[in-house]
Amino acid sequence: MRSIRNLVAVLALVLAQFALTPAWADKAPVYQSNSGTAIDGTDPVSYFTEGRPVA
């Protein structure tokens, strides 16, 4: 009975650690230019389809 109680306690601690990890995470930075738009307002997909930035 004692080993089951220890196992439950360890599992509870491990689950609590994974549940609380996002609380310690930093927010992802948002990269913006001076105009306030990311990548100067161009379409990011156009780099792959057109081979150049398209506004």
Please write the tens of the pLDDT for every residue from 12-38.
999 998 888 777 777 777 766 666 666
Q: What mean pLDDT, rounded, does the chain reach?
A: 81
- Cα–Cα distance, 7 to 17 (Å, whole number): 15
Would you say residue 46 has pLDDT above 90? no
Phi, psi of 48 (to 5 degrees): -95, -35
- Cα–Cα distance, 23 to 48 (Å, whole number): 36
For range 41-46, the mean pLDDT: 80
Torsion, Cα of 15, 18, 21, 22 (10° steps): -110
The pLDDT score that the predictor gives to residue 15 is: 93
The pLDDT score that the predictor gives to residue 3 is: 92
- Cα–Cα distance, 33 to 46 (Å, whole number): 19
